Amino acid sequence: MRQWQSLKVSNDLLYRIYENEDTGPHFQLVTPHAMRREIMHQLHNVRTAGHLGREKTLNRIKARFYWPGMTDDVSRWCQSCMSCQKRKPGPGLGKSPMQHCTVYGPMECIAIDILGPLPTTDDGNRYIMVVGDYFSKWSEAYALRQHTAQTVADKLVTEFICRFGTPTRIHTDHGPEFESHLFARMCKLLDIEKSRTTPYHPQSDGMVERYNRTFGNDASNVCLGKQG
């Protein structure tokens, strides 16, 4: 309520008048919750935004948008950005191993893992591809005959992304299907960040591996779908 004086409605949209010391007053769109992640993504992560630091990203967002708690939200967003973390020099080999996957919403980070080879089913499937969302812990499993870059990327796009949307980041191990040119191209086209477990810290992918242990125990009872 103390901001009442600085609020204004224009074209049915609510604005806040922001007094910038350098550039004078301007209008900030009071941003609904549902739009905030997209704004931070567009003004920090995309190629034209260029992953600027916390301060610059915040100023850029403040130039057009306002929401309560935006300073904290933008700080957390920049801190948990994988691309920014990877560029920062760390101990040892120059990159800090990723030990925590900090996520603030569904589809911010998904993990993919391949389980198998298992006994071949009547449909010729021998592998299970597990795709899990770190935030919601929702996991999907798909039957595959093989786990080439082509089959894995195809399953991911046609079965997972088409139904749940495009994730911000995909976390995998060092499997050749994930290291492939094709998989990298797919990520680039869909503007998805790619991160990997480090060989020294394979436990960092605990989520899907835990799922696989549970799932693997029951694999013989699972009715696999049609061929992958």
Query: Which residue, 81 or 110, has its beta carbon nearer to Zn ion?
Result: 81
Q: Closest separation between CB of residue 189 and Zn ion, Å?
A: 19
At residue 188, what is the residue type?
K
Asked if residues 65 and 37 have their Cβ atoms less than 8 Å apart, the reply is: no
Q: Closest separation between CB of residue 82 and Zn ion, Å?
A: 8
Q: Closest separation between CB of residue 78 and Zn ion, Å?
A: 6
> What is the full DSSP assignment across the chain?
-TTGGGEEEETTEEEEEEEETTTEEEEEEE--HHHHHHHHIIIIISTTT----HHHHHHHHHTTEE-TTHHHHHHHHHHT-HHHHHHS--STTSS--------SSTTSEEEEEEE---PPPTT---EEEEEEETTT--EEEEEES---HHHHHHHIIIIIIHHH---SEEEE-S-HHHHSHHHHHHHHHTT-EEEE--TT-GGGGHHHHHHHHHHHHTGGG----S--
Query: Which residue, 168 or 198, has its beta carbon nearer to Zn ion?
Result: 168
Query: Which residue, 70 or 131, has its beta carbon nearer to Zn ion?
Result: 70
Query: Which residue, 53 or 68, has its beta carbon nearer to Zn ion?
Result: 53
Residue that the structure tokens 């603030």 belong to: 104
Q: Closest separation between CB of residue 225 and Zn ion, Å?
A: 38
Query: Which residue, 51 or 196, has its beta carbon nearer to Zn ion?
Result: 51
Q: Closest separation between CB of residue 115 and Zn ion, Å?
A: 32
Q: Closest separation between CB of residue 88 and Zn ion, Å?
A: 10
| CB-nearest residue to Zn ion | 81
Which residues of this protein are in contact with Zn ion, per CB under 5 A?
A: 51, 81, 83-84
Query: Which residue, 81 or 207, has its beta carbon nearer to Zn ion?
Result: 81
